[in-house]
Amino acid sequence: MTALPMPDPRDPGTSPAAELLTSRGVPAPAAPQVRPRRLRRTPALRGLVAETRIDPGQLILPAFVREDLTAPNPIGAMPGVVQHTLDSIRREAAACAEAGVGAIDLFGIPATRDQAGSQAWAEDGILNRAIAAVRAEVGDALVVCADTCLDEFTSHGHCGLVRPDGDRRAGEIDNDSTLALYQAMAVSQAEAGAHMVSPSGMMDGQVAAIRAALDATGHDEVTILAYSAKYASAYFGPFREAVGSTLKGDRRTYQQDPANRREGLREVLLDVEQGADLVMVKPAGPYLDVLADVAAASPVPVAAYQVSGEYAMVEAAAANGWIDRERVIMESLLGIVRAGADCVLTYWAREVAERLGE
């Protein structure tokens, strides 16, 4: 193909559109006085002036540990993610530490469940065993965080105790009686070796209750990452497979309405007042407006959770050849950090950390 001669920008007559321009008397465009493109000319220049950067140390890997497995079990809706055994989660944690990932957030999947979710705080429960195993493997080289919620452990799949039949409010999730179970869960996680607990149930007063329990049992050094602005999102779908959820119905009476923006900031500020060391917005990508609001107002670090549905959509589109997988992963994370997240929970944490370290 013959190269097109480069026209003289000062002479419309040399333009490929000369006939139209000259017939209409269009003057030559004025030369720009400001040229932002100068800073985009080379990869080195772009890197030099990049306003947002991703560091492996700000990434948190959510990971699932299942009690009745003898080998890691792939999660169909989340290609590349597995339910771990105790042995494989140790290897995963060691690989995360080696890659420079900041933290791992552990979710337990028990073999048996009951209405109260009692395996959640059992010393020999799968989550507490996983915490102990990971802490023994990595020590302080990786922040060991634990999900502090009952939904994986209850037979009904809700994040708290359900009011029984015959009660005036039968079927409701009872906020205040649930708080004591979160306290038990957090204390048992601290005893197992967690650096950080992460209440995600969206019960009113959960952070204050957990902080009081930790302090009263000599665990004042344990950090609280509060799921402060957690929305009742359809993007959580694949997570339900990951934890073998038994949920019937939804969680709209305690998780936030996706229509509400101001409420997210209100929840965050309440958790900060109650003693949260970090706060979170979940999901991340569809709620960047909320994340930006929170980041502008929060006096403590802000996390954002790139949830299972966000992950699954990218993987599905990439598998069909519709997008450039690596570029979209990085762009999605940049968008979350650019909106104000200090750390990001993402299922790509180790992959991205290893890529950044190449």
Positions marked catalytic: 230, 282
Q: What is the DSSP letter of 18?
A: H
Place of tokens 């944490």: 349
Tokens of 341: 């997240």
Residue 68 DSSP SS3: coil
Signed CA dihedral, 279, 285, 289, 290: sign only: negative
Q: Tabulate helix, strand, coil % of the chain (nearest 5).
A: 40, 15, 40
Cα-based angle 59, 65, 68 (whole degrees, multiple of 5)? 170
Look-up of token digits 């919620």? 149
Maximum Cα interatomic distance, the chain, rounded to a whole number of Å: 87
Tokens 């009745």 locate to 68
**Rounded CA Rg of the chain:** 25
Say which DSSP state 184 is in: H
d(CA 207, CA 222): 13
Cα-based distances in Å from 17 to 12, 25, 27, 213:
8, 12, 13, 74
Rounded to whole angstroms, how far apart are CA atoms 69 and 108? 12
